[in-house]
Chains A and B, each alone.
Chain A
Amino acid sequence: MAQPKDFGFGSEEQMVRDSARKLLKDAAGIEALRALVARDHKAAYESAVQPAPWDERLWTQMVELGWTALAVPEDAGGAGMKMVAVAALAEEIGRAAVPSPLVSTLIATIVLRAAATRAAAAAAGTGPRLQDPPAAPAWLERIATGTPATLALTPPSGSWDPAETAVRAERSGSGIVLRGEVAFVQDARKAAFFIVAAAGEGGLGLYAVPADTPGLTIRPDRIADLTRDQARLGLDDVRVDASSILAAPGTAAEVIEAAMPAILTIVAADLCGAAEWQLQTTTEYARVRTQFDHPIGFFQAVKHPIVNMMMDVDRARSLVYAAACAIDADPTDAARLACMAKAAASDAGAFCSDRSIQLHGGIGFTWECDVHLYVKRQKHNQFLYGDAPYQRARLAALIDDKAGRPGQA
């Protein structure tokens, strides 16, 4: 139960954060973002296939700085750094609204890590035996060297419960055949492999499916957010072998449950970073825009909501680091704090988005003003893995569980 007072945020973690802030400031500033994703509104929203531009040279730099290896355990070739460092990195990604598969890849890493832990426990005889050797470490090694990956868990119904997956798995000889559809797959066109949840004999399993596997089709969605891409996956007799079984049938639900606090914390950190940008940008505008002979921040109808933005961001940010620290040092409390962090960050993202447009006035309603890029990213992040009311319902269920009553959520 021992949690360090400073969230365990030491010099190593600060170095990761500061180097991220510097690289993104230099190579992924707001002008670069605008030029990359918002140069042409027609192309953005009216092309037959929505473009999903990203800076692949920047990705190479991120990989060289070890960002994909950050959350990969050392025995799989990674840096094995603490969750507070991962959260700090995600916060910087959000602050710069970087179009890249990094957040998706970090989340995939978390799930692979949980799968590896689960499989190792099984191999050590402390969990149910598995038929096949653990596959997750090899996929983690690929991520550590810069291979982007993403989760493919969500059925077309939009449910966040992977047990409702619309993919079926069937054993076929030494391999597995996957059939069905996955929706709301993040950064699907940037990922080199997917982590697919599929139901079959023995229960829910997790499978690694490379993007170029025959039978796999990636059908891009048209989405409002210009800083990422999203797609539906069609799996038409997709055949994978045993080296793709990340979580054996019947073990996927607990793997995802174990990974969920970190997943929520990463998305919440991204929301917080972007909300801080919204706060700073709106503050700056209220300092320079003059009406009635005063900078508009002079007026309390503008000043007070900006202060409310700051208080929302700060509540969420404190909870993000508390959740990250709990994952590192006090896992029994991680689920509770991560639900809280995601709920608070989703609300902060919503409020900061709302005020960032309104307080910019007419210009804030135009394509040329950058605030819409962040508003759209925030809206997207708000719902990912469950929005604020969803998280609060889970939190209430956790309280019921603790009290020894079945949850209602």
Chain B
Amino acid sequence: MSERTISPEQAEFRDYCRRWIAENRPAAPSFRLPLSPIEVMTEDQRRYLCDWQKRCYQAGLIGSDYPKEYGGGGHRGFQTIATQELGRAGVPYMINIIGLNMAAPTILNHGTDEQKRRFLPPLLSGDEIWCQGFSEPNAGSDLAGVQASAVRDGDQWIVNGHKVWTSLAHFASWMIMLCRNSNAHKYEGLTYFIVPIADTKGVTVRPLIKITGETGFNEVLFEDVVIPDKLRLDEVGKGWTVAMTTLLYERGAAEGAGSGGGTSLDERVDALVALAKRMRRNGGAAWDDAVIRDKVMQIAIRVEAMRQSARRARVEPLTEHPMRLPLQSKVQLSELLQDMAAVALEIEGPYASLYLGDAHAPENGQWPLAYLNSYGFTIAAGSNEIQRNILGERVLGLAKSK
């Protein structure tokens, strides 16, 4: 962000963020942290990351733009700066990513005042972890086909069903959940709930094993789970509209309550170049191979283009359609990460066979892991095939595919 286009308050806040991060950077843990928050598995990892999020929250770097009465900082234009500073500092990511990026904006947009007061403060501080219950075994890309049922019983609802790919459910206090309250209409028969997960009668959380061999997400079974009507979000039958709000944030088309930290894309490009300079190929450094260099530069260009497109999306005269760039970000980012990992494996050559924990694995085997893991992102949040349908139909006006 440029010096000349931010307000004096923002500039001052940025200096504050930099100072605070420099003074409060957490010590590296004695255990391995996974590549992203949705793979956090152990209690050690959870405690370390929850502590970090809480300190960031207390320092005002999380929830900076959320209203004060809901636990936020009450500012405007501060979150982007905090997120950017956390991102460039190489500090750990926020564990409550689903809460911050999806649940919080959904509750802020659709919740009652009481719901906002109850749920937002512990969400922002990381005291309560959130998970998302959208996908089911038979409702993936066709999300509106969800079958988990919510049946009204006076002032409460009885929930039955089966949700899958539920990241962080093993730590979560709450789930944002899309349920079917009527079979008469596909879209209008959906209602959105906040459902207690931890220690709730009838809720079973079971880990799913990914192709990486890691756990990290789950399936969640609901058997006659009773929840009060005051945990319903927005009106009965408006679940699809509410879910669209969640998806807008999940796909990166709008800014949530805060994030940042983790490995930035620039750092990953630097790591790719460094890897190519270190690994050998044909009697020289892999970097001296013109084909390898070309592939690394293709990745570097796409990384820069991601950043510049995010910048251009906010310049109205340089965009053709308001949703044209925002709706691309999930496809572009997930495919970039996948291709980047694939190029890293090519650079590693035979070393790409060495997996997590092998003593000879470059960077502890993180690139083979990143490659396998990358399919989570090209499939999650609406597979990229569905995203291309949405882009073709909503932005370009092509006929709707069945």
Q: Which of B357-402 contact A (CB under 8 A)?
A: 385, 388-389, 391-393, 395-402
User: At the interface, yes or no: B44 with Cβ under 8 Å from chain A?
Assistant: no
Looking at A158-166, A176-184, A196-204, A390-398, the stretch in contact with chain B turns out to be A390-398
Q: Which residues of B contact A393 (CB under 8 A)?
A: 290, 293-294, 297
Pick from B293, B305, B398: contact of A396, CB under 8 Å: B293
Q: Report the nearest A residue to B391, measured CB to CB.
A: A307
Q: Report the nearest A residue to B398, measured CB to CB.
A: A297
Pick from A303, A319, A337: contact of B392, CB under 8 Å: A303
Query: How far, in whole Å, are A316 and B317 apart by their CA atoms in the complex?
Result: 16
CB–CB B309/A318 < 8 A: yes
Q: Which residues of A contact B391 (CB under 8 A)?
A: 307, 310-311
Pick from B4, B5, B397: contact of A283, CB under 8 Å: B397
Distance in angstroms from B351 CB to nearest chain A CB is 22
Q: Which of B1-32 contact A (CB under 8 A)?
A: 1-5
Pick from A283, A287, A396: contact of B297, CB under 8 Å: A396
Query: How far, in whole Å, are A132 and B62 apart by their CA atoms in the complex?
Result: 63
Indicate with 1 or 0, residue by residue over A272-294, a CB within 8 angstroms of chain B CB atoms: 00001000000100110000001
Looking at B199-207, B213-221, B324-332, the stretch in contact with chain A turns out to be B324-332
Query: How far, in whole Å, are A392 and B3 apart by their CA atoms in the complex?
Result: 30
Query: How far, in whole Å, are A399 and B399 apart by their CA atoms in the complex?
Result: 45
CB–CB A2/B396 < 8 A: no
User: At the interface, yes or no: A299 with Cβ under 8 Å from chain B?
Assistant: yes
Query: How far, in whole Å, are A50 and B318 apart by their CA atoms in the complex?
Result: 38
Indicate with 1 or 0, residue by residue over A297-325, a CB within 8 angstroms of chain B CB atoms: 11110011011101100111111011000
Q: Range of interface residues on chain B?
A: 35 or more
Looking at A3-11, A107-115, A205-213, A220-228, the stretch in contact with chain B turns out to be A3-11
CB–CB B308/A318 < 8 A: yes
User: At the interface, yes or no: A389 with Cβ under 8 Å from chain B?
Assistant: yes
Query: How far, in whole Å, are A314 and B391 apart by their CA atoms in the complex?
Result: 13
Query: How far, in whole Å, are A4 and B311 apart by their CA atoms in the complex?
Result: 10
Distance in angstroms from A246 CB to nearest chain B CB is 33
Q: Which residues of A contact B296 (CB under 8 A)?
A: 396
Distance in angstroms from B326 CB to nearest chain A CB is 11
Query: How far, in whole Å, are A322 and B312 apart by their CA atoms in the complex?
Result: 9
CB–CB A5/B301 < 8 A: no
CB–CB B304/A319 < 8 A: yes
CB–CB A306/B392 < 8 A: yes
User: At the interface, yes or no: B41 with Cβ under 8 Å from chain A?
Assistant: no
User: At the interface, yes or no: B186 with Cβ under 8 Å from chain A?
Assistant: no
CB–CB B301/A318 < 8 A: no
CB–CB A310/B318 < 8 A: no
Pick from B300, B308, B317: contact of A322, CB under 8 Å: B308
CB–CB A303/B315 < 8 A: no
User: At the interface, yes or no: A136 with Cβ under 8 Å from chain B?
Assistant: no
CB–CB A286/B304 < 8 A: no
Pick from B4, B287, B325, B400: contact of A2, CB under 8 Å: B4
User: At the interface, yes or no: B58 with Cβ under 8 Å from chain A?
Assistant: no
Pick from A9, A303, A315: contact of B309, CB under 8 Å: A315
Q: Which residues of B contact A9 (CB under 8 A)?
A: 315, 317-318
Query: How far, in whole Å, are A7 and B307 apart by their CA atoms in the complex?
Result: 13
Q: Which residues of A contact B118 (CB under 8 A)?
A: none
User: At the interface, yes or no: B314 with Cβ under 8 Å from chain A?
Assistant: yes
Q: Which of B278-328 contact A (CB under 8 A)?
A: 287-288, 290, 293-294, 296-298, 300-302, 304-305, 308-309, 311-312, 314-315, 317-318, 320, 324-325, 328
CB–CB A295/B294 < 8 A: no
CB–CB A392/B392 < 8 A: no
CB–CB B297/A318 < 8 A: no
Distance in angstroms from A15 CB to nearest chain B CB is 10
Q: Tell which of A7, A307, A396 has the most Cβ of chain B within 10 Å.
A: A307
CB–CB A287/B397 < 8 A: yes
User: At the interface, yes or no: B164 with Cβ under 8 Å from chain A?
Assistant: no
Please tell me the number of chain A residues within 8 Å of chain B, measured between CB atoms. 46
Query: How far, in whole Å, are A283 and B398 apart by their CA atoms in the complex?
Result: 7
User: At the interface, yes or no: B273 with Cβ under 8 Å from chain A?
Assistant: yes
Q: Report the nearest A residue to B270, measured CB to CB.
A: A399
Q: Which residues of A contact B320 (CB under 8 A)?
A: 276
CB–CB A314/B273 < 8 A: no
Q: Which residues of B contact A322 (CB under 8 A)?
A: 304, 308, 311
CB–CB A295/B2 < 8 A: no
Pick from B273, B287, B399: contact of A295, CB under 8 Å: B399
CB–CB A7/B315 < 8 A: yes
CB–CB B331/A311 < 8 A: yes
CB–CB A2/B308 < 8 A: no
Pick from B3, B318, B402: contact of A321, CB under 8 Å: B318
CB–CB A310/B294 < 8 A: no
Q: Which residues of B contact A315 (CB under 8 A)?
A: 301-302, 305, 309, 332
User: At the interface, yes or no: A358 with Cβ under 8 Å from chain B?
Assistant: no
Q: Which of A317-372 contact B (CB under 8 A)?
A: 317-319, 321-322, 337, 340, 343-344
CB–CB B305/A307 < 8 A: no
Query: How far, in whole Å, are A144 and B81 apart by their CA atoms in the complex?
Result: 43
Indicate with 1 or 0, residue by residue over A1-45, a CB within 8 angstroms of chain B CB atoms: 011111101000010010000000000000000000000000000
Pick from A276, A286, A310: contact of B395, CB under 8 Å: A310
Query: How far, in whole Å, are A260 and B320 apart by their CA atoms in the complex?
Result: 28
CB–CB B305/A318 < 8 A: yes
CB–CB B311/A392 < 8 A: no
Query: How far, in whole Å, are A294 and B398 apart by their CA atoms in the complex?
Result: 11
Q: Which residues of B contact A316 (CB under 8 A)?
A: 305
Query: How far, in whole Å, are A125 and B273 apart by their CA atoms in the complex?
Result: 41
Distance in angstroms from A360 CB to nearest chain B CB is 15
Q: Report the nearest A residue to B328, measured CB to CB.
A: A311
Query: How far, in whole Å, are A315 and B44 apart by their CA atoms in the complex?
Result: 41
Query: How far, in whole Å, are A14 and B393 apart by their CA atoms in the complex?
Result: 28
Query: How far, in whole Å, are A47 and B315 apart by their CA atoms in the complex?
Result: 48
Q: Which of B331-367 contact A (CB under 8 A)?
A: 331-332
Distance in angstroms from A356 CB to nearest chain B CB is 14
CB–CB B388/A303 < 8 A: yes
Query: How far, in whole Å, are A277 and B400 apart by their CA atoms in the complex?
Result: 23
Pick from B298, B385, B395: contact of A300, CB under 8 Å: B385
Distance in angstroms from A331 CB to nearest chain B CB is 15
Given contacts A3-B2, A276-B320, 13 further A-B contacts (CB under 8 A): A4-B4, A9-B317, A9-B318, A286-B398, A287-B397, A294-B399, A306-B392, A306-B398, A310-B391, A316-B305, A318-B305, A318-B309, A321-B315
A-B contact pairs, 26 of them (CB 8 A): A5-B315, A6-B5, A14-B317, A287-B398, A287-B399, A295-B398, A298-B399, A303-B389, A304-B392, A310-B324, A310-B396, A315-B309, A315-B332, A318-B312, A322-B311, A340-B304, A343-B297, A344-B301, A344-B305, A392-B294, A392-B298, A393-B290, A393-B294, A393-B297, A408-B288, A409-B293
The 6 tightest CB contacts between A and B, nearest first, are A297-B398, A318-B308, A392-B297, A298-B399, A315-B305, A303-B392
